[in-house]
Chains A and B, each alone.
Chain A
Amino acid sequence: MRKLLNVLYVTSPEAYLGKEGETVLILLNDEVKLRIPIHNLEGIVCFGYTGASPALMHLCAERGVALSFLAESGKFLARVSGRVNGNVLLRRRQYRQADSPEEALQLAKGFILGKIFNCRCVLQRFLRDHEQRGDPPMVQEGVKALTIQLQKTANSRHLDMLRGVEGEGARVYYGVFDHLILEVKDIFTFTGRSRRPPLDAVNALLSFLYTLLAHDCTAALETVGLDPQVGFLHRERPGRPSLALDLMEELRPYLVDRFVVSLINTRQIGATGFVTKESGGVLMTDEVRKNVITAWQKRKQEEVMHPFLGEKIPVGLIPYAQALLLARHLRGDLEAYPPFLMK
Chain B
Amino acid sequence: MSISYPDSDLLMLSGIQHFAFCRRQWALIHIEQQWQENVLTFSGREMHERADDPFFTEARGAVLVTRSLPLVSRTLGLYGVADVVEFHRDETGIVLKDRPGRWRSYPVEYKYGQPKIDDRDIVQLCAQGICLAEMFGTPVATGDLFYGRTRRRQPVEFDDSLRNRVRELTAGMHELFEKGVTPSAEYSAACKSCSLVEICLPKTGSRRSVRRYLDEALR
A interface residues with partner B (beta carbon < 8 Å): 1-3, 62-64, 85-87, 89-90, 113, 117, 150, 224-225, 307-310, 324, 328-329, 331, 333-338, 341
Contact of B208 among A63, A117, A308 (CB under 8 A): A308
Contact of B37 among A62, A329, A334 (CB under 8 A): A62
On chain B, the residues within 8 Å of A328 by CB distance are 204
18 A-B contact pairs sorted by A residue (CB < 8 Å): A63-B37, A64-B37, A87-B32, A87-B33, A117-B217, A150-B218, A307-B213, A308-B204, A308-B213, A309-B201, A309-B204, A329-B210, A333-B182, A333-B205, A334-B206, A335-B211, A336-B210, A341-B214
Whether a CB of chain A sits under 8 angstroms from the CB of B209 is yes
Whether a CB of chain A sits under 8 angstroms from the CB of B91 is no
On chain A, the residues within 8 Å of B198 by CB distance are 1-3
- Size band of the interface chain B makes with A: 20 to 34
Q: How far is the CB of B39 from chain A (nearest CB, A)?
A: 13
**A309, B205: Cα distance in complex, Å:** 10
Not counting A87-B31, A89-B180, A225-B33, a sample of 13 additional A-B residue pairs whose C-beta atoms are within 8 angstroms of each other reads: A2-B198, A2-B199, A90-B32, A224-B34, A307-B213, A308-B213, A309-B204, A324-B201, A333-B205, A335-B209, A336-B210, A338-B214, A341-B214
Chain B, range 175-219, C-beta contacts under 8 Å to A: 180, 182, 184, 198-199, 201, 204-206, 208-211, 213-214, 217-218
**A326, B213: Cα distance in complex, Å:** 15
Chain B, range 124-180, C-beta contacts under 8 Å to A: 180
On chain A, the residues within 8 Å of B209 by CB distance are 335
Closest to B180 in A: A89
Closest to A154 in B: B218
On chain B, the residues within 8 Å of A117 by CB distance are 217-218
Q: Are A113 and B180 within 8 A (Cβ)?
A: no
Residue of B31, B210, B211 most packed against chain A (CB within 10 A): B210
**A207, B218: Cα distance in complex, Å:** 29
Q: How far is the CB of A61 from chain B (nearest CB, A)?
A: 11
**A117, B215: Cα distance in complex, Å:** 12
On chain A, the residues within 8 Å of B32 by CB distance are 86-87, 90, 225
Q: Are B214 and A113 within 8 A (Cβ)?
A: yes
Q: Are B33 and A338 within 8 A (Cβ)?
A: no
**A63, B34: Cα distance in complex, Å:** 12
CB-CB nearest 4 A-B residue pairs? A2-B198, A336-B210, A89-B180, A338-B210
